[in-house]
Amino acid sequence: MTAPPPGRLLLVPTPLDHGCTPQAPITDVLPLGTLQAAARITHWISENAKSTRAFLKRVDAVAPLAQPVQAHTITELPRAVHKKGDHDPQSAHPDVRPLLAAALKGHDVGLISEAGMPAVADPGSSVVRAAHGLGIAVVPLVGPVSILLALAASGLNGQNFAFVGYLPQEPAARATRIRELEALARKTGQSQLFIETPYRNAALVQALLHELQPGTRLAICHGLTLEHARCVSQSVTDWRSATTAPASAALPAVFAIGR
């Protein structure tokens, strides 16, 4: 019997409101085509199975699912991927090719993270690489990417930029890293973007305002795509004289520095 042609790996974006209250209407942040494509998928590779089921219930309210949520096959990414990331091909990572077995049998498989686009500031790139290696077509669906939304709203250089992930948590190492990124931004004009978990936002802002030079531009965007979204971009001097809190401790934020 001839084997069926392989299915596809669909990169399914999700709203940026994971863990936020209230949540944005899903049709405000995801186009109908993405919702309909997600509704047809029954096999998933997930950052978190619980949040994936919650997302599918939101999809079902707009585009009826091909099968009930309980009948979907949802496989979580290996724990090592969460702890160490999966972006460095020089490091040892779990073999994720078995996660794509359903695609090799002809099923479309969805790759999904808790918020935003999988494999961008989220785990999943190892699955994408494996799909390419197995000859499985990779199809990114349209949806929000917080890094690009923040960059567009920052007024910083959108022609030359870098996303550097999380800064060190240890104060001295974090201060050194901030100064390194500022020097690069000021020398080359390359905007530097980074993120932090919400409960560390205040500590990061304090470090930025202490270490950055007065004329450096700092943009802080939080609550993106939510009703109370806020993005402010101004000099460090202006930030130091601001009377309102730069970033919420309850909302995900994207930070950017440049000239």
Same domain flag for 130 and 173? no
- In a domain, residue 1? The reply is no
* 234: nearest Cα among 251, 252, 258: 258
Q: Which of 150, 213, 151, 202 is nearest to 178 (CA)?
A: 213
pTM beyond cutoff 0.75: yes
Same domain membership, residue 179 and residue 126 = no
pLDDT tier, 38 (very low <50, low <70, confident <90, very high otherwise): very high
Total domains in the fold of the chain: 2
Question: Are residues 154 and 130 located together in one domain of the fold?
Answer: no
* DSSP per-residue letters across 69-99: GGGSEEEEPPHHHHHH-S--TTS-----GGG
What three-state secondary structure class fits 174? helix
Does 47 share its domain with 118? Answer: yes
**86, 117, 140: which is the final residue of a domain?**
140
Name every residue whose Cβ is closer than 8 Å to that of residue 194 and which is 6 or more positions away in sequence.
163, 164, 165, 166, 167, 181, 254, 255, 256
Is it the case that residue 89 has pLDDT exceeding 60?
no
Alpha-carbon Rg for the chain in angstroms: 20
Q: What is the DSSP letter of 25?
A: P
50 and 151: one domain? no
What is the mean predicted confidence (pLDDT) over 96-114? 96
